Amino acid sequence: MPASAIISTVRPLAFAAIVSTFVIAPAQAQTYLQYVCRGGAEFEAAFFEGTRSAFVQVDGKSLNLPKRISATGSRYAKDGVTFWVKGQRATLKRLGKTHECTAK
């Protein structure tokens, strides 16, 4: 086989391999909520399908809070931070303070 035939066969395969590394996987289903708390505090939370965590953005910090057992609603906690959700209401306990909040 001539060298030009090998190159013309290899180029499309190499291109396909390179392109396949950049193909983006389908987006996961997600729920993104903004909360407003009594006293004016605000924060955001995201929940992604297939994970058992809440991703909370509060005071410029991102927190990954694993899901915990809860009799009602959903509770997430780690390192002294607890985020409890029931319907449109949420409670955020952090730094010794409890914030009662509602989803926007």
Structural domain spans, the chain: 30-103
Residue 26 pLDDT class (50, 70, 90 cuts): low
pLDDT value of residue 28: 64
* DSSP-derived 3-state class of residue 22: helix
Distance set, CA 92 to CA 1, 34, 50, 62, 64 (Å): 70, 13, 23, 14, 14
Task: Report the predicted TM-score, pTM, of the whole model to 2 decimal places.
Answer: 0.71
pLDDT class of 59 with cuts at 50, 70, 90:
confident
CATH fold of 30-103, please? Lipocalin (2.40.128)
The answer, yes or no, to whether residue 23 has pLDDT greater than 90, is: no
